[in-house]
Structures are given as C-alpha cells and as structure tokens.
C-alpha cells in the first residue's frame, strides 16, 4: 500500500495509526511531500483514502504501475474526441518570431489542428545552439492561444518555470525525452494538476517509461499523454528508430492516450509522413508534428520541420488511414479501451 500524504503532513503523524504495519513501513520523499509504503495484506485502499492526512492511497503491490494500469478517466483536449479522429498537435520546434508564428497558428487552426506546440526554453544537445526565446516565446504562445482558441503544449525543463507557464496559459506540459526520468520535475509539474505529454527517453524501456508516468499520476496529473519519439539503436540512417511496436504494447498495458512524434524520430522532413502513418497504423491515437513557416530558416531542427502544405497532406492521409482502421467489419472493439 502507498499512502501519499498531504503537503505539510509528516510521516510521524500517520505511522502510529498503522498499528502493526508501522514496523514494516518505509517512508519516502516524493517531491515536496512524504509517502509511506507498507505491505497491503489484503486491505483495500479505500479505507486509507478517508484519512484526513492522506491525499491518495494506492494498493501498489497488486500491479507494477497501479495508476497507469488502472487509469480509466476521460481525456479532454480542446475539440478532440478520442476514438473519432487522430489527435493533431503541431507547431514549430521553437517559437522564433511573432508575426509568422501567429500566421502559422491561424493556418494550423484552420486545418483542424487540436493543439498548438511551440518551444520556449529549448533543451539543446549543444550549449552553443539556439536555446529558445524563453519568456518572449511564451508571450507569443499566449497570444496565439488567445487569438485561435487552440490549447498549448509546451516543453518544460525545470519546475522553476512552472509559474510563468501557468501564467501563459499552457494547457499540456511536455516533459521531453531528456527529462522523462527527472522524477522531481515530473512530480512538481503534476502537482499543478495539469496533464503531461510524456516523451519516451530514447534509452528507456517501456517499464521505465510507464513508471515515469506513474510518478505523474501519483502526484496529481489528471492524465498523461504517452509519446513515442524514437529510441536509440545501432541504426543511423534516421535520427532515431521509431519504435512502432511499442504502440500496441502501450494499448495493452494502459488506457492512457498514446501518440507518436515522427519529426524527432525521422530527423528529416521527407521521412516524417511515412513514420507518422506507420505510427497511426500501429495504434497511435495522434501525432505531434513540427511545422515551421519557413523550415530552412528555422533556428532549431530545421531539417525535420514540415511546411504547412506537407503537414496538410500528412493530416489528410493520416485521417483517411485512421478512419479505415476504425471500420470494424467483425464488430471488434476499438483498441484504445482499457486493458482487462
């Protein structure tokens, strides 16, 4: 059993109430709060959930990632209706200039994109590369949201930025490949009660990835959008190897929504569409795609960003594929349902 204590509650206040279990209990720190773990011995979580000091009780021995595996809430993302069409998240790798970004946001909205992405603080491999425009970019993202009504998905690198992201109206907090296993960041972001788009670290196993999602759900994220963005293998012809095989595995392990990022996996614009379509065919419920007003001039990831026209084509083809896969001649159920 896991008891996540409310902020400010110390383990010493709760341990005496556990009776004999207290001697077997382990106390752990989770972000700013304390958690107590002890053998469940057949007791259910419900009784503990009633305790005033307890924010959340989870019968964690039952499954490896109890919240990820039993998650059954609904997902609300702008106008997207889960199961009816792919989720489209699109926008530039980094937000670089106001006018062209606002024009792009309007064009993406007109194409039926559900969520606008755009980098503000960038996680670049080289310290000499463009690091993003930071707060300036957040201001333009906020303006784009205001003008188009599109929800925003922005990568967050540190919990020190949480407040400015909330002020800018960021709706989905992207935790990128480099931070998937930054458990402190996951916990602090999730505490804001916002959903996360959790990219897979290219070195992470599915188990490690889902445990990272477990941190976020445990800390209060209403849902986590799992995003496969390519893993590191021996193969070098593409930037990463898109693990399409992980998509049916995720559908089997969890009812959390799952999407793919063909842009970072491909690394080259010409390969983005085939990878995106392959991901949808394998059960991705949507795609996050980098689209730039003028890709060759982009200050980050120039080679992989699509033009608006290239994106529009991918969207039409992806939707046709998705619809074809939804046709169920033998009455089979759609595969985003909860695992049994």
Pick the binder of Mn ion from 301, 314, 318, 322 (CB under 5 A).
Answer: 301
C-alpha distance from residue 228 to each of 195, 198, 232, 302 (Å): 17, 9, 12, 21
Size of the chain in residues: 340
Closest to ligand PEP by CB, 214 vs 261, is: 261
User: Minimum distance between the CB of residue 265 and ligand PEP, rounded to whole angstroms?
Assistant: 9
User: Minimum distance between the CB of residue 293 and Mn ion, rounded to whole angstroms?
Assistant: 15
Does residue 285 belong to the site contacting Mn ion (CB under 5 A)?
A: no
User: Minimum distance between the CB of residue 30 and Mn ion, rounded to whole angstroms?
Assistant: 30
CA dist 333 and 328 (Å) reads: 8
CA dist 65 and 69 (Å) reads: 6
Does residue 1 belong to the site contacting Mn ion (CB under 5 A)?
A: no
Q: Answer yes or no: are the C-beta atoms of 99 and 299 closer than 8 Å.
A: no
Pick the binder of Mn ion from 35, 36, 93, 141 (CB under 5 A).
Answer: 93
> Candidates 85-93, 106-114, 149-157, 250-258 — which segment interacts with Mn ion by CB under 5 A?
85-93
User: Minimum distance between the CB of residue 175 and ligand PEP, rounded to whole angstroms?
Assistant: 8
Q: From Mn ion, ligand PEP, none, which one binds at residue 123 (CB under 5 to 8 Å depending on kind)?
A: ligand PEP
Closest to ligand PEP by CB, 188 vs 301, is: 301
Closest to Mn ion by CB, 128 vs 234, is: 128
DSSP state string for 231-246: B--S--SSSSB--TTH
User: Minimum distance between the CB of residue 155 and ligand PEP, rounded to whole angstroms?
Assistant: 6
Q: From ligand PEP, Mn ion, none, which one binds at residue 30 (CB under 5 to 8 Å depending on kind)?
A: none
C-alpha distance from residue 137 to each of 134, 194, 295 (Å): 5, 20, 18
CA angle at 318 for the pair 314 and 324, rounded to the nearest 5°: 150
Closest to ligand PEP by CB, 199 vs 299, is: 199
Does residue 243 belong to the site contacting Mn ion (CB under 5 A)?
A: no
> Candidates 81-89, 93-101, 135-143, 219-227 — which segment interacts with Mn ion by CB under 5 A?
93-101
Q: Answer yes or no: are the C-beta atoms of 144 and 115 closer than 8 Å.
A: no
User: Minimum distance between the CB of residue 173 and ligand PEP, rounded to whole angstroms?
Assistant: 12
User: Minimum distance between the CB of residue 202 and ligand PEP, rounded to whole angstroms?
Assistant: 8
Q: From ligand PEP, Mn ion, none, which one binds at residue 295 (CB under 5 to 8 Å depending on kind)?
A: none
User: Residues in the site for ligand PEP, rule: CB under 6 A?
Assistant: 93, 119, 123, 155, 176-178, 199, 229, 261, 264
CA dist 257 and 224 (Å) reads: 7
Identify which of 147, 165, 145 has the alpha carbon closest to the alpha carbon of residue 157: 165
Identify which of 213, 283, 274 has the alpha carbon closest to the alpha carbon of residue 248: 283
CA dist 216 and 191 (Å) reads: 8
* Angle between helix 206-219 and helix 183-191 axes, rounded to 10 deg: 40
Q: Which residues bind Mn ion (CB under 5 A)?
A: 93, 301
């Amino acid at each position: 059993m896991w008891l996540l204590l409310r902020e400010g509650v110390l383990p010493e206040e709760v341990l005496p109430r556990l009776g004999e279990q207290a001697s077997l209990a382990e106390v752990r720190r989770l972000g700013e709060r304390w958690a107590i773990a002890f053998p469940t011995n057949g007791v259910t979580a419900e009784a503990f959930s009633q305790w005033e000091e307890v924010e959340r009780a989870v019968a964690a021995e039952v499954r490896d990632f109890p919240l990820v595996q039993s998650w059954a809430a609904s997902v609300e993302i702008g106008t997207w209706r889960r199961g009816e069409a792919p989720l489209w998240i699109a926008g530039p790798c980094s937000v670089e200039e106001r006018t062209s970004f606002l024009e792009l946001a309007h064009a993406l909205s007109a194409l039926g994109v559900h969520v606008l992405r755009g980098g503000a603080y960038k996680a670049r491999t080289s310290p000499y590369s463009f690091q993003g425009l930071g707060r300036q970019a957040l201001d333009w993202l906020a303006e784009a949201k205001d003008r188009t009504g599109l929800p925003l998905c922005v990568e967050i690198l540190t919990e020190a930025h949480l407040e400015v992201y909330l002020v800018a109206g960021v709706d989905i907090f992207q935790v990128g490949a480099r931070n998937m296993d930054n458990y402190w960041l996951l916990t602090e972001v999730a505490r804001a009660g916002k959903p996360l788009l959790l990219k897979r670290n290219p070195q992470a196993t599915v188990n490690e990835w889902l445990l990272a999602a477990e941190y976020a759900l445990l800390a209060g994220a209403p849902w986590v959008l799992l995003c496969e963005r390519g893993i590191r293998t021996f193969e070098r012809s593409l930037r990463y190897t898109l693990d399409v095989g992980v998509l049916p595995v995720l559908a089997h392990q969890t009812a959390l929504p799952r999407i793919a990022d063909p842009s970072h996996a491909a690394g080259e614009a010409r390969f983005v569409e085939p990878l995106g379509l392959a991901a949808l065919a394998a059960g991705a419920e949507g795609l996050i795609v980098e689209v730039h007003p003028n890709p060759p001039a982009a200050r980050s990831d120039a080679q992989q960003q699509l033009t608006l026209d290239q994106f529009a084509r991918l969207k039409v083809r992806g939707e046709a594929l998705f619809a074809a896969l939804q046709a169920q001649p033998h009455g089979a159920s759609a595969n985003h349902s909860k695992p049994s």
